[in-house]
Structure 1
Amino acid sequence: MRKTLLSIASLLLVAGNINATNIGYSKDEISRNNVFRLGSTEKQGQAMRLSHAKLQALKGKTIDFAEFVLGSKNVTDKKMHVFLTKQLDGTPIAEGTVEVKKALSKIKWTLDKPYTITGDEDCLYVGYTTEVATTYKVLMSDGSYDIEGCNYGYKDGAWVDTYGMNKGSALIFVNAENVGDYTDAIIAQSNFEGYYKAGDNCNFSACFVNAGTTDITSFDAIVEVGGNKTTQHFADLSIKPKEGYSFDLKDVDTSSEGEQSLSVTIANVNGAGKETDTSDNSVSANLFLYPKTMERSLLLEAFTGQDCGNCPGGHLNIEAAIKKTEKNVIEVAHHVGYKPDMFTMSEDPTYIFFYPNMSSTFAPAAMVNRNTYANVSTTPIVSATDVNSLLSTIYYADTKEPYVSLYLKTTLDESTRELNVKLYVLPHKTVPHNSSIFNVYLVQDGIEARQANGGDNYIHNRTFRGTVTGNAWGYLVKDIKAGQLLSWEKTITIPESIHSSYYADETKNNVEAVLKNMSVVAYIGEFDQNDNNKHTIYNCCEARLGESHKQTGFVKPTDVNSAEAEQSVSIFVSNGKVHAGGAYDRLQVYNLAGAQVENADLTKGVYIVKVTADGKQTTKKVLVK
């Protein structure tokens, strides 16, 4: 299917003078929204690169001036250093100093001596550097799709390719004289990332730019997935210079789960042998197809308060949004963001971190998978007074990869109120983020209590009752690799009632912890304690107390079976004694020297515990504090 895009680049575009050609990758649209800076140093800069093949097409043509657009005029001494060079860190062919009089408009640099392209150059760079205070953004792009190897930025003392930064092309233009017509296509950043399941009809598309001076009327797309190659032919087109073109990939085999290599090559543009430069016509990526049975859930964390008069309406909006999406959404309600109340727990203020302004919070609000959907908000938090914003955020979160499947097991002794929680995390794919966290929430439904605009008998559901881990953020894990099972276990005693951390008088405002109305919610996701836009919940699941939930995508390879067998007996320490949950035949405790010790009044230290059940032995190290 053909789609004509907004122009995302233009190389050798015919200018007003019939004998002059404007060389550049930018679509020449200036917008303050596309101003940015790179790195932490005051020195900033941008450059555009012309490849060897393109320079061969320009052989004998003369470059006499260049133009640049800056995002700020507040540069040091109102000056910028401009250059034409074969190497970004080498000696320039030509250079100069230009006065910066105005931002967001073209600044012209006329070369003292025009440069004639020989065609033998490996490449040429045209660019600038300047000094600007860190409070100003001076770099400028067109906000289009990225083009690999064509645009560079100066970041922390080095030039870096801005491909993948989602900035688009630098607003840099070079004037060349008497350039003839020719054909050229250049592949643009084609995003094949997404959440795909094996066997599903997956929609993949690629795009390229008409970077020549004539219309593109036909081309072939050679698509290779997992070693299987197909060719799609496109004809009767009229892709103008300055235009981009997007097309869907057909006959992509998605029957096999796991990682699949994908490549797309644009060939035979306007016929075989017609294209000037084919070196930039290909893009490659790795797809990952999750199991057909893959189950993923989205974590919606609501922010509410008993004194919030708009919150009952917000609760209804959240309920309506979840129902309309038909996605598997698990809701947890934090009583923070308005005022502390009888449900506010000690962990709750930590999550104010996700608000746009931590000193100016609001309710009702919500976040989904802790993702920031830029079309709705600058941080993960969105207002729950608008159903459409909630819907958009849920749909956006659902496009992200889940990476892992979860297996949550709980056992409950109602007489002692002891709850044992086991969490198994099976990564299907190596997680690209270095730092991740997992956590387990305690949640309660059916609590009858006061609510502004809801009366004294309002029913509070999905109420956060603290973490099983005892930590607001949970536990940090690194280097989550495909197939490497993670496991965690803890036993807690649930009190008869749970008291808000924000009321000093513990005889009041106690909320009865009704076991049958309680559940645990486990999740794992990306974590960055310094940036609230770098959080993503990969997957989550929920189990009622005493029950278990194994996500359907949690397959059972040998290592998982072994891990489950090892963890079949729950072992924990309480009051200086080792205990084992469930039925077992024998429990033995040894010190690190290998000597068996009596399992009573154990001193502080590490011990080795062996439990035999049904002829199988489980061995585990325990710490007595």
Structure 2
Amino acid sequence: MRKILLSIASLLIFAGSINATNIGYSKDDIDKLNTFRLGSSHKQGQAIRFSHAKLQALKGKTIDFAEFVVGSKNTTDNKINVFLATTLTGTPIAEGTLEVKRSLTKVKWTLDKPYTITGEEECLYIGYTAEIGTTYNLLISDKSYDIEGCNFAYNNGTWVDTYGMDRGSALIFVNAENADDYTDVIVGRSKFDGYYKAGEECKLTPCFVNTGTTTINSFDAIIDVDGKTTTKHFADLNIEPKEGYSFDLTDLDTSKEGKRDINVTIANVNGANKEGDTSDNSLTASLFFYPKNMERSLLLESFTSQTCSQCFRGHLNIADAIKTSKQDIIEVAHHSGYDPDIFTMQEDINYLFFYPGSGGTFAPAAMVNRHTYANISSSPIVQATSTNNVLSTIYNAATTKPYVSFNLETKLNESTRELKVKVQILAHTDAPSKQSVFNLFLVQDGIIASQTNAGENYTHNHTFRGTVTGNAWGMRVNDVKAGQMFTWEKTITIPKQIHSSYYTDETKNNIKAVLEDMSVVAYMGSFDQNDNTKHTIYNCCKARLGESYKQGGFNVTTAINEPEAEQTLNIFVNNGKVCVEGDYSRLSVYNLAGAQVENAALAKGVYIVKVVAGSKQTTKKILVR
């Protein structure tokens, strides 16, 4: 099972003699399937970084040669430029040029003058660059572990950390002379920061890598949860150099909603005081446990067209993926990305923004929660010609957190076709983005019309019919904080027919708006007008016209906040006490079970605060950290 690491892995493996050690992070696994490139520029490159702590451990040792593996020999003049440096942008300590005779084979660089590690360096980089055609993949990794701050690649003029790209480590090996055996581990980064609910089992799997040169036989795991510390001893082990080891934590108390701070430290490796560098032995994470009845839905937006020959099959692929995933998914179909048709609205064209920056648009396609899964696409949109593409994107989006809950109310006057919409959004935690937006879509099911390769009487469902807000991107909200509740209302009139913004045949592009087949879809997510990868949706919900839907997790002791009270009061926490700025007559604090508690020295957790100001009252969920 692959693990994602927090810092250096696979350091110090034997290289030929007992006094020479090959330092680097990569397994010695060379596979053509692991080649790749970053960006659109001809210049490509990779480098590995050694931290100050690791260099201190190697103080006095000399670097005399390095070996590099590249994915292609078709560079300019079949050459790569290699370097040893303290920065990726400054003047190198040493540099050279190597001829690449074969791809996927180690190329050796012997330094003209061996470099002695002083231990004073902030860091050291060893890497290569080359010019190569855009059809070739020069870069290569071992696809093992992502290691934060240790592997870099050149991307359109900038060196970037490849951490988070699921590439593992660059195939770069550095020889250090006269390095003695020693014990060292690097704690691995498990994905602790997930979506957890109170009352449900939470299994965390810390891991580490033996980055020393000796076999590990024992260690202690020190686990601290909100200040309560326990120690687990592991013995009779045989963890060889470069091997990883993981263990499960399943006995966490998840009965309470709210934030939990967790620290895991690997200590006493092979006994006390055997490890010289313990700077990278700890992992810290903050978990948030949502209410037991928390409900979250994923928003799947498809891109389709009546004239697209593969879209009928794409619809089936999406349906199969949704069924297999067992996730709660709300669908919306945008008729864009291919030829406009009788359903295409202006906003549908706006959402082409989410396609990758190069290669144009295509259909069938889909995006889930507007979340980018880098393993499949450089943007939120993936091709829906494969069920697995869509399914993998669903699973990846499901690992994100919902942050908010919805209460969506709609009232419909069928005779006048007047629709009143009211949405309340309750924030459980601070939003991850400074800018958030919420929006409300109109969608319609059961429209009978043609579809290429599916006949003239194909049923089009989840069809996007416009927005309630009148804006493709919705309403902006800045700095969403835990406990805040937003209320927004609007009244619109549903026309008897909805006119396509783009289809030119006036006899066909007026689609009857059947009220009983229509719904409102509300969502909230992050927003960045310049970057289509920063629009991840937090949560969403759906209600048929004239009906309402309150999500599980929208736990408020009173039905509706009075806007006047909310606007004149500032409610916040200071030193474990709820404080209010503004004129008010009564303040009450309740736990999530509904019992009133004393407003002093409040323990960490989530509370309901009720404030009465004159004839108005406001109720707010607030987090005590």
TM superposition score category, shorter chain reference: 0.7 to 0.9
State how many pairs are aligned. 565
Match of 1:97 in 2: 96
Q: Is the 8 A contact 1:76 1:130 kept in 2?
A: no
Q: Following TM superposition, by how much is the alpha carbon of 1:31 offset from its aligned partner in structure 2, in angstroms?
A: 5.2
- What SS does structure 2 have at the residue aligned with 1:202? coil
Cα distance between partner residues in 1 of 2:566 and 2:113: 77
Q: Is the 8 A contact 2:298 2:540 kept in 1?
A: yes
Q: 1:30 to 1:535 in 2, by over 3 A?
A: farther
- What SS does structure 2 have at the residue aligned with 1:433? coil
Q: 1:534 to 1:76 in 2, by over 3 A?
A: farther
Match of 1:186 in 2: 186
Cα distance between partner residues in 2 of 1:37 and 1:309: 32
The reply to whether residue 405 of structure 1 matches residue 405 of structure 2 is: yes
- What SS does structure 2 have at the residue aligned with 1:392? helix
The reply to whether residue 346 of structure 1 matches residue 346 of structure 2 is: yes
- What SS does structure 1 have at the residue aligned with 2:395? helix
Cα distance between partner residues in 2 of 1:326 and 1:126: 46
Match of 1:485 in 2: 485
The reply to whether residue 9 of structure 1 matches residue 34 of structure 2 is: no
- What SS does structure 1 have at the residue aligned with 2:501? coil
Q: Following TM superposition, by how much is the alpha carbon of 1:338 offset from its aligned partner in structure 2, in angstroms?
A: 4.5
Cα distance between partner residues in 2 of 1:161 and 1:449: 49
Match of 2:226 in 1: 226
- What's the CA shift string for 1:16-38, capped at 9, x where partnerless? 33442212222233456455559
TM-score (norm 2): 0.77
Q: Following TM superposition, by how much is the alpha carbon of 1:13 offset from its aligned partner in structure 2, in angstroms?
A: 0.7
Match of 2:585 in 1: none
Of 410-419 and 207-216, more deviation after overlay is shown by 410-419
Q: Is the 8 A contact 2:13 2:241 kept in 1?
A: yes
Q: 1:374 to 1:40 in 2, by over 3 A?
A: closer
Q: Is the 8 A contact 2:4 2:146 kept in 1?
A: no
Cα distance between partner residues in 2 of 1:385 and 1:158: 34
After superposition, residues 386-405 of structure 1 pair within 5 angstroms as: 386-405=386-405
What letter corresponds to residue 49 of structure 2 in structure 1? M
Q: Following TM superposition, by how much is the alpha carbon of 1:200 offset from its aligned partner in structure 2, in angstroms?
A: 1.1
Match of 2:124 in 1: 125
After superposition, residues 278-427 of structure 1 pair within 5 angstroms as: 278-308=278-308, 311-312=311-312, 314-355=314-355, 359=360, 361-363=362-364, 365-374=365-374, 379-384=379-384, 386-427=386-427
What letter corresponds to residue 295 of structure 1 in structure 2? E
Q: Following TM superposition, by how much is the alpha carbon of 1:300 offset from its aligned partner in structure 2, in angstroms?
A: 2.0
Match of 2:543 in 1: 543
Q: Is the 8 A contact 2:201 2:250 kept in 1?
A: no
- What SS does structure 1 have at the residue aligned with 2:430? coil
After superposition, residues 261-272 of structure 1 pair within 5 angstroms as: 261-272=261-272
Cα distance between partner residues in 1 of 2:473 and 2:428: 23
Match of 1:600 in 2: none
Q: Is the 8 A contact 1:75 1:130 kept in 2?
A: no
Match of 2:176 in 1: 176
TM-score (norm 1): 0.77
- What's the CA shift string for 1:184-224, capped at 9, x where partnerless? 11123332121111221112112211111121122121121
- What SS does structure 1 have at the residue aligned with 2:561? helix
Cα distance between partner residues in 1 of 2:39 and 2:400: 26
- What SS does structure 2 have at the residue aligned with 1:188? strand
Cα distance between partner residues in 2 of 1:248 and 1:536: 30
Q: Following TM superposition, by how much is the alpha carbon of 1:280 offset from its aligned partner in structure 2, in angstroms?
A: 1.5
- What's the CA shift string for 1:334-380, capped at 9, x where partnerless? 233444332222222333444457645223x4332233445555544
Q: 1:61 to 1:305 in 2, by over 3 A?
A: closer
Match of 1:471 in 2: 471
Match of 2:436 in 1: 436
Q: 1:229 to 1:158 in 2, by over 3 A?
A: farther
Of 447-456 and 522-531, more deviation after overlay is shown by 447-456
What letter corresponds to residue 48 of structure 1 in structure 2? R
User: Of the two, which has the highest radius of gyration?
Assistant: 1
- What's the CA shift string for 1:131-171, capped at 9, x where partnerless? 75896987665443244554567889998876556554444
Unaligned 5+ segments in structure 1 are 568-613, 619-625
Q: Is the 8 A contact 1:309 1:453 kept in 2?
A: yes
After superposition, residues 158-177 of structure 1 pair within 5 angstroms as: 168-177=168-177
Cα distance between partner residues in 2 of 1:385 and 1:11: 42
Q: 1:39 to 1:325 in 2, by over 3 A?
A: closer
Cα distance between partner residues in 2 of 1:426 and 1:542: 16
Match of 1:605 in 2: none
Match of 1:601 in 2: none
Q: 1:305 to 1:61 in 2, by over 3 A?
A: closer
Cα distance between partner residues in 2 of 1:287 and 1:526: 20
Q: Is the 8 A contact 1:5 1:245 kept in 2?
A: no
Cα distance between partner residues in 2 of 1:477 and 1:6: 34
Cα distance between partner residues in 2 of 1:44 and 1:315: 40
* Cα RMSD after superposing both structures: 4.0
Q: Is the 8 A contact 1:419 1:493 kept in 2?
A: yes
Cα distance between partner residues in 2 of 1:451 and 1:89: 55
What letter corresponds to residue 496 of structure 1 in structure 2? K
Q: Is the 8 A contact 1:306 1:341 kept in 2?
A: yes
